[in-house]
Structure 1
Amino acid sequence: MSIRSIIASGIAGALALAVPFLVSGPASAQDREFGGEIELVDPEVFRVCADPNNMPFSNEAEAGFEQKVAELLAGKLGRSSVSYTYFPQATGFVRMTLGSQLCDVIMSYPQGDELVQNTNAYYRTAYALVVPADGDLANVEKLSDPALQGKRVGVVAGTPPATYLARAGLIGKAKPYQLMVDTRIDNSAKAMIDDLDKGNIDAATLWGPMAGWYAKQSNKDYKVIPLIHEGAGPATTFRITMGVRPADQQWKRTLNVAIRDNQDAINDILLSYGVPLLTEDDQLIQPSKDAAAGTGSGNDSEQATDTAAKTGSDSTGKTKTQ
């Protein structure tokens, strides 16, 4: 089961289809899969499970926001370094990384999935609509808006926006993109925004962090609209946690404290990547005063991201595990 498919299909559906024994079976079954009840966290190195080519989350150049958050927390927790175990975020990701004790934390995992133990949520976001900022769709707030009638909308197959596009009678003209891809060779989000750039589609629906990031990377001016008004149906908003092994109770508590104490700095990192952050009452979160003034960690992370993206190099001295 992958993180991408959990968000796409909804937590309850993913659990029922993929890991039913976790819903009704004893906790010991989960412990056995992840190596028993002994904590196996490295006390010196902040060991991260990551995708090698899945921006804006992570890549081998360590330019993703998950990696900037990992660096922040590693420093706050006194870890000597950060290391990465890379594996594509597709079927088997958790088993081949966290479950194999090769790393100690998955930096982004939807709250409510029991394949891992969740920390407290450190951000909340939503699927989003991406449209030209100065176009006739700039004031659209939901997929049932009449302004979308007759338009061609890009959608990743099997994701919540597909349901709402079908309800609105838009699915017939929609352009589908694959959900499950090997990120080393394919990228549905980039392909969708490229099509929007070329005028092949009129609007794009993407998972919020991807929508914000690829909209920022384009040379066109786009508006990213969180889909928070869709009504009854599949969830479009999710709380995102960090995922650890079920046995790692103290590690979870340590991360919870670090998240709480550094939430503003974490927010600034995410916002610098274009992630649409939402409060519990669906208000957009703005950068902290330090970040707005150009003195906070969000500004530093953006500079680091730009450098890594341009050079593709690794100047951090951190270890990598393939």
Structure 2
Amino acid sequence: MAGNGNTAGLRPRTGAGRRRTSAGLPALVLILGLGLSTGAVAQERTSELGSETALRVCADPANKPMSSKDGEGFENKIADLVARELGRPVQYTWFPMATGFLRKTLLDNRCDVIMGYIQLGERVLNTNHYYTSSYLLVTPKDSPLAGVTSLSDPALKGKKLGVIAGSAPASHLVRQGMMRDAKGYELFVDRRYQDPSGDMLADLEAGTIDGALMWGPVAGPLVKAGHPNLTVQPLLKEPGQPKMFYRITMAVRPGEKAWARKLNSIIRRNQGEIDAILRDAGVPLLDDMGTGPKPADG
């Protein structure tokens, strides 16, 4: 997912350490491009599906703060919650969040669910969304750019912004004629060796860039965990497409409607606990329409 994070680069889903990222977007989301290509929808299946002895999850083993092999990612914790409700253990199939992830995992029947998947695409069946988040502008707390809510704000003209290639913010920078001043970071990398999100935050703290444009579920937890001198601001005022906020779901195979309904029921009954996991991690939560923060009791 979690998405890595951008629609061109929302594949949700970044994090600490030298690992691969979906920093561009929502993960899975984020990662976002995972479910955007078209494909034939499988014949409808109404049985519960796959394994009845374990919750089989496909995830990136090095995609903190979303997922990690040590189980510390916030999507790992949400998977634990789902498994608890099912009365089954979690069983992971680990696979890098890169080209071929969907085809070689969920669609190859190596698992029964992917956590942190953007609510788009025809190659999967999405559950109901369990959170909504957006891209952020990350700046030093004392920066004159702190509080900027739109890339069209004149305060950003001539500033050097870090941006993940292929992400939604990158498209807006191109439209605004601001890409020539930007510094690009790769979207699809092996995070065991590269860490674009960590590099971007390091560059921001070093003054190499003036601001960092990052997917919220990536940037929020990273800033909370290790960058107390930085602040984050959701970009909620951007006109036009691509949009800057996305709803995040769990993905199952097309046609597995009974399984999706079971997951929807778990999400509905446990939404408060899911919100608590996300807030504790530092994920910025928005209302369903992406217009402002989600109320604490919402």
Counterparts of residues 111-126 of structure 1 (less than 5 Å): 111-126=119-134
Name the CA distance, whole Å, in 2 between partners of 1:84 and 1:288. Answer: 32
**Matched residue, 2:53:** 44
Name the CA distance, whole Å, in 2 between partners of 1:58 and 1:245. Answer: 20
Counterparts of residues 125-204 of structure 1 (less than 5 Å): 125-204=133-212
Name the CA distance, whole Å, in 2 between partners of 1:218 and 1:164. Answer: 28
- Mapped pair 1:261 → 2:280: no
From the superposition, tell whether residues 247 and 168 of structure 1 become closer, same or farther in structure 2 (CA, over 3 Å): closer
Match of 2:215 among 171, 191, 207: 207
**Matched residue, 1:304:** none
Unaligned runs of 5+ in 2: 11-28
Superposed CA offset, 1:153-203 (max 9, x none): 000111111122233332111100011212232221111111112211110
Contact 1:5 1:180 in 2 (8 A): no
Contact 1:48 1:85 in 2 (8 A): yes
Structure index of larger Rg = 1
Name the CA distance, whole Å, in 1 between partners of 2:205 and 2:91. Answer: 36
Counterparts of residues 77-116 of structure 1 (less than 5 Å): 77-79=86-88, 81-116=89-124
From the superposition, tell whether residues 240 and 251 of structure 1 become closer, same or farther in structure 2 (CA, over 3 Å): same
SS for the counterpart of 1:240 is: strand
From the superposition, tell whether residues 17 and 57 of structure 1 become closer, same or farther in structure 2 (CA, over 3 Å): closer
Root mean square deviation of aligned Cα: 2.6
Match of 2:76 among 42, 62, 67: 67
Superposed CA offset, 1:261-284 (max 9, x none): 000110111111111111024221
- The residue identity in structure 2 corresponding to 1:230 is E
From the superposition, tell whether residues 99 and 15 of structure 1 become closer, same or farther in structure 2 (CA, over 3 Å): closer
SS for the counterpart of 1:131 is: strand
Unaligned runs of 5+ in 1: 290-322
More helix by percentage: 1
- The residue identity in structure 1 corresponding to 2:69 is E
Name the CA distance, whole Å, in 1 between partners of 2:5 and 2:295. Answer: 29
What's the TM-score once normalised by structure 2's chain length? Answer: 0.84
Name the CA distance, whole Å, in 1 between partners of 2:251 and 2:146. Answer: 36
Name the CA distance, whole Å, in 2 between partners of 1:183 and 1:40. Answer: 32
From the superposition, tell whether residues 15 and 209 of structure 1 become closer, same or farther in structure 2 (CA, over 3 Å): closer
**More divergent stretch after superposition (81-90 vs 190-199):** 190-199
Name the CA distance, whole Å, in 2 between partners of 1:196 and 1:219. Answer: 11
SS for the counterpart of 1:49 is: strand
What is the aligned residue count?
276
- The residue identity in structure 2 corresponding to 1:78 is G
What's the TM-score once normalised by structure 1's chain length? Answer: 0.79
